[in-house]
Amino acid sequence: MAKILAHELSIYYPLSASPGTMITGMPTTDNMVVFGNKRYIRALQNLSFTFTEGQRIGLIGRNGSGKSTLLRVLGGIYAPTSGSLITEGKISSLFNINLGIQLDASGRENIVTRGLIKGWSRRQINESIDEIITFSGLNDFIDLPMRTYSAGMRMRLLFAIATSFSPEILLLDEWIGAGDADFQRKAAARMNGLVDKAGITVIASHNRSLLRRVCDIGIWLEDGIIKAYGPIEDVYAKVDGKA
């Protein structure tokens, strides 16, 4: 049973400059804390929430609000500075699908490498490799080095690898689309199926129609703080100042 439980979760990014030094583009002082002689920016501050099996959560907020940082904390890329995070279930994050790709290796070899990075067993990889190749449409090119692929070919293969298994917890930083119109239709159907099968899905996006279509829960982040959390239409009403 998939579950995510966060309690007063915070992330601080260290700043290299000493106190009193002006830094170009510095966020407001409300987001800054000082420990000893070091300054930190609070990217996330005291977030508490519980996501349970069957929920589809949309992260709402302007650029710099903390959406991508929260996704990376949920995906285990960043460790909380303070507070706690408990996750139950196998996680798949689709915001770094280029991780581990070797351009001098063949497409087939990269399928194996990406599968191992994602925690698949050799058996799972062997059972899935033909389907991945077929879905990507790279049958005649799969044993050529990836450096010989066009950008579209590379993206089709990476997308096919990334979406091959249905995770218990699916994390998305924007909706993935890839390739030409025909492949984008295939990709959309694949993404819809992946979300339907996942126990919990968390999506960060500026696309309201997408989040309203896919998600039932919304979290509105502003300067790393939760401004609203609940049914997604209620959250959008607060974002628009109608509630």
CA dihedral 228, 205, 71, 112 (to 10 degrees): 160
- Given this model, what pLDDT does residue 179 score? 67
| pLDDT tens digits, one per residue of 14-35 | 876 544 444 444 444 567 777 6
Predicted confidence (pLDDT) at residue 151 exceeds the cutoff of 90: no
- Given this model, what pLDDT does residue 79 score? 92
Maximum CA extent, the chain: 60
Most confident of 99-113, 169-183, 184-198: 99-113
Higher pLDDT, 102 or 29: 102
Predicted confidence (pLDDT) at residue 111 exceeds the cutoff of 90: yes
Predicted confidence (pLDDT) at residue 180 exceeds the cutoff of 90: no
User: Which of 24-28, 51-55, 75-79 is predicted with the least confidence, judged by mean pLDDT?
Assistant: 24-28
Average pLDDT over the chain, rounded to an integer: 87
Question: Contact, 204 vs 211, CB < 8 A?
Answer: no
Mean pLDDT across 204-225 = 94
Mean pLDDT across 36-62 = 91
Question: Contact, 139 vs 108, CB < 8 A?
Answer: no
What is the percent of the chain with per-residue pLDDT over 90, rounded to a whole number? 59
- Given this model, what pLDDT does residue 170 score? 92
Mean pLDDT across 83-103 = 87
**Close Cβ partners of 214 (under 8 Å, ≥ 6 residues apart):** 56, 58, 195, 201, 203
CATH of 3-93+203-239, one of 2.40.110.20, 3.10.129.10, 3.40.50.1110, 3.40.50.300: 3.40.50.300
Q: How confident is the model at residue 122 (pLDDT cuts 50, 70, 90)?
A: very high
Predicted confidence (pLDDT) at residue 221 exceeds the cutoff of 90: yes
Residue spans of the domains in the chain: they are: 3-93+203-239
| pLDDT tens digits, one per residue of 230-240 | 999 999 999 99
Q: How confident is the model at residue 163 (pLDDT cuts 50, 70, 90)?
A: confident
Mean pLDDT across 135-161 = 92
Nearest Cα neighbor of 117 from 133, 137, 102, 139 is 102
Report CA-CA distances (Å) from 152 to 42, 173, 181: 37, 20, 12
Higher pLDDT, 166 or 83: 83
- Given this model, what pLDDT does residue 41 score? 83
Q: How confident is the model at residue 243 (pLDDT cuts 50, 70, 90)?
A: low
> Can you give the pTM of this predicted structure?
0.82
Tell me the sheet residues that pair with 32: 41
Amino acid of residue 125 = I
